[in-house]
Amino acid sequence: MMKRIVFILIICFWVGRVLAIDHRIPAVQDSVRLDTVKKSLQAQSLQHLLERDSLPLMTLPVDAQMKMSPVYLPDSLIRDTLRYEYTKIKDFAYKAKWTKELYKMVFVNPHRGYLNVMRTQNSEERFKAYSGKVIHDISIVVLPPYGTSVYDTTYFEEDMGWLKNLANKTHMKTAEKVIRRQLTIKPGMLLVPFELVQNEILLRRLDYIDDANMIVTEDPDNPAQVNVTLICKDQLSWGATVESNFLNSFDIGLENKNFMKLGHVLNYEFSYRGTKDKKWGNELEYKVNSLWGTHINIRGYYRNDYREKEVFVDVERQFLTNRMKWAGGMGVGRVFYSDDLPDRNVNRLEELFNYHYQDVWLGKSFLLPYRYSYNQNMFLTGRFFTTLFNNRPLVTDDTNHLYYNRRDYFAAFTYIKMKYYKANLIYDFGRTEDIPTGLMLSLTTGYEKSEFDNYGYIAGECHYSHFNKYDERYYALEAALGSYVNEDGFTRGTLKLGASHISNLCSWGSFKFRFYNDVHYVKGIRRYPGDFLYMEDRNIRGFSSDTLRGNQKLSSSLATTFFLPYIKKGFRVSISSFCDFGVIAADNKKLVHSKTYWGFGVGVNLRNDNVVIKNISFRFAVYPTIPEDGRSFQAILSSGNRGSFYDYHVTKPQVIQYE
C-alpha cells in the first residue's frame, strides 16, 4: 500500500516539474497605483501610506539549485515610476513602424503571470499604529474582476482577448453604496484594528466581492484623525457551477451575484440523478445582504429533487464582528419530504419526513479585554423552534420517536478568543485567505417537550487552532460531547474528536506545495434503532454507500497540493493527490476488527477569476475495497473547493451533529 502512495506522489512531482516553465515566482506586492487612489488620498498621505502599509516583495531564487534566503526588496513605488516612464517610451515608439521595431530590439517586456506568494502576517499589525484615532473619512475604490489585485495595481494577467471583452460587457460593477452598507465602521468612530480586519473578512465572504484590502493614513490636517481607503475587487457578476461523475448524475448552476446592481444574489441549480426514482431536480435561492445597512440578511429558498422538497424564508442578523452586541434571526419553512430535521441529522430513511417548522433565536455578545494579542468575547444565545408533522407513520410511546411533534428550547454560553493571519496558497490559490487562530469553549443546555416524552439536553464543545507564524504551520483540534437525558439516563448521544494539520508552503525547485492531514472519530451513544452513521464523501473522497453503516467511525486523510508556478491566459493550475482511509463499526464491535476502506486519487484544479466558472477540478479516484453497492473507479468534475478553516462564528445553539 505504501508503495502505491509513494508512486502517486512521485508521478505528481514529475508532472508538475515538466509543466513548470520558469523558476521565478515573484511575490505579491502591496503597491497602489497613483492614478487609482489619487482622488481619495492626498499626496502627502500616499507617501506615508507606502512607507507604513506596503508588503515587502519576496523574490525567490532564479536558479532552483541556488541555496539562498528570500530577499525583501523596497516598496514597489520605484517599479510604478519606472513602468510609467517605459510606458511613455513605448507609446512614442509605437507611433511609427521603424521606431516600433527599434523598441522591440532594445526593450524586453517583463514576464508577467507567475505565481504570487503572499508573505504571511498578523492581520492587525498594519493597523495598530492608528489604534484609537478617529476615522475621518472612508473612501471606496472598486476594481474590475479581471487582471487586477487589491494589493498591487501593477499586477496584470495576460490579455484574454474576446473573453475579456465579453466580461467587460456582461459584468455589473458593484455600487459603492452597496459596499458601504456592509461595513460596520463609520466616520466618527474610533479605529479598532481587529474591527477593520473583520470588515475585510466579511467583505471577502460576500458573493460579489473577490478580495478586499483596507489602507489607513493619517489626516494631514489633523494627526488625531485617519482616513480609510477600502479597495475591493469585484467578482464577475455572473457565475456558474458544474459537477458530474460522467455516468449518471450532474449538477449545473447559474448565479447572478449582483442582481440589478443591488448586491442581491440570485442562484438557480439544475440536477439529474439517473439511479433515483425522481431523476430531475431544481433549486432556487434569493439572498439580500445587509438590508438598508442594518446587517440584516434575508434569504428565500426552494428545492425540489430526489432528496428533498422544501421551501423556507429566514431573516437573520449575525455576529459579523466581535463588537456587534446583538444578533438573532427567525425562519419558517415547509418540508414536503426530506431526511433532514432542524434538530436531527438522519440518513437513509424508509419514510421521509413531512413537516413544517418555526425557528427563532437571539444572542448577546460581551466584549472582554484584549489579552496576549487575542480578542476575547463571551456570548449568550438562546433558541426556540417547533417541529410539527403534516404526514407521518403511526407513533406510540415506544415507536417512531423521530416523528414526534415537539418543541425545543436551547441556550448556550460560549467563550471565544481569536486573531487572524493573512496568507494565500492554502485552500484557494486565487485570493487572500484569512487564517483564524484561537480557542472556542461552549456549553449548551436544552429541553425538548414532545408528545410522549420530555428530555433535557447537555453538550460541551471545544475548538482550538494555532498558526505558527515562524514556520507557517497550522494545527487544529476539536472535541464535542452531547446527549439528551431523561429518567432512564443518557440517550441519543454523540462523541466527536478530530485533529488536522497543514504544512508550511514548501519549495522543491520551482514548485510550491503543501501537505494536509486530518483524522476524525465519531461515536453514537444509545442512538435510536435505525439511526446510523454512513461512510460518505466527507470521509473518503467520492465514496458513498447505503449499505455500509454503523454507530462509530474513524476516518483519516493525507493530501498534497502542488501549485504550478505560472499563469497562462489567466488560468492558475494546481495538482493534488490524496490517500483517504475509513473504518466503520456497530456498537458491539471494535473498529480494529472491522473492515477498512481506502481511496486514492489525483486531481487537476484550474482557477480563472476572469471567467464565469472560476474553479474547475477534475478528480480521478481508485477504491481497492468497496461495499456491495460501491464502485472501484470514479471520475468527478466539480467547480467547488473542498477545504476550509473553522471560523469561530457564533450562531444559534444546536445539538452536536451525528455525522
State pLDDT tens for residues 323-343.
999 999 999 999 999 988 877
- Which residue(s) pair with 518 in the sheet? 500, 557
Please give the pLDDT value at position 41.
43
Render 629-658 in DSSP notation, one character per residue: T--SEEEEEE-S-----------S--PPP-
Please give the pLDDT value at position 432.
79
Please give the pLDDT value at position 2.
43
At residue 506, φ and ψ (nearest 5 deg) are -90, 160
Residue 66 has pLDDT above 60, yes or no: no
Please give the pLDDT value at position 473.
92
Residue 69 has pLDDT above 90, yes or no: no
According to CATH, what is the number of the domain 26-59+61-116+123-233? 3.10.20.310
Percent of the chain with pLDDT over 90: 46
Residue 49 has pLDDT above 50, yes or no: no
Please give the pLDDT value at position 23.
36
**Of 300, 292, 296, 236, nearest to 268 (Cα)?**
300
CATH 2.60.40 is right for the domain spanning 308-638: no
Residues 590-598, mean pLDDT to the nearest whole number: 91
Spatial distance between the Cα atoms of 250 and 248, rounded to a whole number of angstroms: 7
Q: Whole-prediction pTM value? A: 0.79
Residue 436 has pLDDT above 80, yes or no: yes
**Of 417, 409, 480, nearest to 443 (Cα)?**
480
Residues 30-52, mean pLDDT to the nearest whole number: 40
**Of 266, 391, 375, 263, nearest to 334 (Cα)?**
391
Residue 111 has pLDDT above 50, yes or no: no
Spatial distance between the Cα atoms of 463 and 175, rounded to a whole number of angstroms: 38
Residue 64 has pLDDT above 50, yes or no: no
SS3 category, 175: coil
Domain extent listing, the chain: 26-59+61-116+123-233, 237-304, 308-638
Domains 26-59+61-116+123-233 and 308-638 alike in fold: no
State pLDDT tens for residues 492-527.
999 999 999 999 988 887 788 999 999 999 999 998
Spatial distance between the Cα atoms of 458 and 444, rounded to a whole number of angstroms: 6
C-alpha cell at 305: 429533487
Residue 70 has pLDDT above 90, yes or no: no
State pLDDT tens for residues 226-272.
999 999 988 878 888 888 888 889 999 999 888 877 889 999 999 99
Residues 585-595, mean pLDDT to the nearest whole number: 86
Cα dist from 101 to 88, 89, 90, 91, 112, whole Å: 16, 13, 11, 13, 22
CB burial string 573-604: b at 16+ within 10 A, e below? bbbbbbbbbbbbbeeeeeeeebeebbbbbbbe
State pLDDT tens for residues 274-327.
888 889 999 999 999 999 889 999 999 999 999 899 999 999 999 999 999 999
